[in-house]
Amino acid sequence: MRRLSTVSPNIVRLYCNSVYLNWKSMNEVAHGKTTNSISVTAACVMSTAFLISNPLIASWGANIPREFLNAWHPPPPGWIKINVDASFLMSYNAGIGGCFRDDKGRLLIAFGEKRMHWDIANLELDVVMAIRRFIQPWMMEFKGLIIEGDNLNVIKFIQNSLNKAKWQSYNRIEENILFLADFNKVIFNHINRNCNRVADMCTTLALDNNFCFDSYSFDCIPPSLTSILKKECEPLLSFVTSFLFH
């Protein structure tokens, strides 16, 4: 363990968090209390394993082990992660969509909107601006937002635009995402497409109709989206469960 801590400290953190949460869960059961499900425990392990004194850095996504570079993972405790995506057909029918999840991997909101467009970059920018319509007042109490997309050029463009403007310029980009200044911290992060499958499914569903699923309408979520939500968490569950039960 000592040797591993020098070459792969994040793996050691995962292991230690897994052991602690497993011990805590067994104690709760022994005292007749309810305990978290395996999926929630796994998300807790991931969200706390990399919480250092200051996790609010633009390279936050680089602090995870390479095993998770191709899989979705939850944000740090007290944060919300928003995954966004866009797609279009040869007919120029297009869809934008995304999903909000908390540090336990729980779905908060999934949305999609139908569009008519021919430029994927503009669509990817549009979905970031569309986030404003789905922000809820209670979300302001969270420590911050991590907004992820798989279009590297768009993510870099937004990062550079905000760094240059410092929220004070009024061109098309800054003016339409000034609402993000209401949050304590906002991080834009580029990810692999394999980490963005739920958002991708939202864009596919949006090609037919606009939708928004929240806590009042989760029963209406189509099976195709539910299936992707489960599959996107499978790498997290399998990796952490191996620590908990082996």
Residue type at 196? N
Say which residue, 50 or 216, is predicted with more confidence: 216
Say whether domain 59-233 belongs to CATH 3.30.420.10: yes
* Higher per-residue pLDDT: 195 or 20: 195
Secondary structure (DSSP) of 17-55: HHHHHHHHHHHHHHTT-----HHHHHHHHHHHHT--S--
- Residue 149, Cβ density class (10 Å: 0-12 exposed, 13-18 middle, ≥19 buried): buried
Query: What is the residue-averaged pLDDT of the chain?
Result: 77
Location of structure tokens 């029963």: 219
Once rounded to an integer, what is the mean pLDDT over residues 169-180?
A: 64
The pLDDT, as a whole number, for residue 116 is 86
The per-residue pLDDT for 61 is 43
Residue 241 clears pLDDT 50, i.e. is over it: yes
pLDDT at 201: 95
Share of the chain above pLDDT 90, in %: 31
Instruction: Find how far residue 74's CA is from the centre of its chain.
Output: 6
Least confident range from 15-29, 88-102, 156-170: namely 156-170
Burial string for 174-193 (b: 16+ CB within 10 Å, else e) reads bebbeebeebeebbbbbbee
**Is the Cβ–Cβ distance between 236 and 40 less than 8 Å?**
no
pTM (two decimals): 0.71
The answer on pLDDT for 176 being more than 60 is yes
Over residues 47-68, the mean pLDDT reads 44
Lowest pLDDT segment from 154-158, 160-164, 197-201: 160-164
What type of residue sits at position 28? E
Mean pLDDT of 128-150: 92
What pLDDT is stored for residue 2 in this prediction?
67
- Band (62; pLDDT cuts 50, 70, 90): very low
CA Rg, the chain, in Å?
A: 19
Q: How far apart are CA 30 and CA 50, in angstroms?
A: 29
According to the model, what pLDDT value does residue 44 have?
Answer: 58
Choice between 112 and 6, residue whose per-residue pLDDT is larger: 112
> Distance from CA of residue 212 to its chain's centroid?
17
Helix-strand-coil split of the chain, %, nearest 5: 55, 15, 30
Q: How much is the pLDDT for 158?
A: 85
Residue 38: pLDDT band (50, 70, 90) is low
In this prediction, residue 145 carries a pLDDT of 93
Q: Could you read off the pLDDT of 181-203 as tens digits, one per residue?
A: 888 889 999 998 888 999 999 99
**Boundaries of every domain in the chain:** 59-233
pLDDT at residue number 11: 63
pLDDT recorded at residue 131: 93
Mean pLDDT of 64-73: 63
